[in-house]
Amino acid sequence: MKFIKWLLIIIILLGGLGYGVYHFGTKIASDKIMEALVTELENSGEMENIKRAIENDPELQAFINGAASVDESTLPFTTKEEATKVIVKKFGISGIKDLQSRVKEGQVSKEEILQEVAGKLTEEEITALKVIAYKELYNK
């Protein structure tokens, strides 16, 4: 009986520890990814290139401009940090790195990226990402 009691306590402690590592580990990882990505994009000047590319592409422009009239109180997240956490949870760090390398090498098209994102995120999450992109592009 004592053995079962101690085994149950150990299982509960390990479960709680596992949940804590998952919850806080995801938060720390997403914070670091967001910080590194923003710093890299701003230092290399890529942020301006991305903004220009979106402004010059009518398809992407139409995709993002739909976010101007969305009620933000209905969205699952409204900040870049929260968005990063959701993306890390849904795609995983290795999935994000894989997608990034495929984009850099030109192995994936815009349509394929949008399909992959649509397959892993809900419609509300995609709308929230559009709103964040809109606010970033137009500094709102």
Amino acid at 22: Y
Give pTM, 2 decimals. Answer: 0.61
What span, in angstroms and rounded, lies between the C-alpha atoms of 23 and 95? 19
Q: Using an 8 Å Cβ cutoff, are 76 and 124 in contact? A: yes
Q: Any idea what the Cα angle at residue 23 is, between residues 20 and 29, rounded to 5°? A: 120
What span, in angstroms and rounded, lies between the C-alpha atoms of 114 and 133? 14
* pLDDT tens track, the chain, 140 positions: 788 888 889 999 999 888 887 777 777 776 777 677 777 767 777 667 777 777 777 777 777 766 667 777 888 888 887 888 888 888 887 888 888 888 778 887 778 888 888 899 998 888 888 888 777 777 65
What span, in angstroms and rounded, lies between the C-alpha atoms of 121 and 137? 22
Distances (CA, A) of 124 to 32, 61, 74, 130: 25, 19, 8, 10
What span, in angstroms and rounded, lies between the C-alpha atoms of 113 and 119? 10
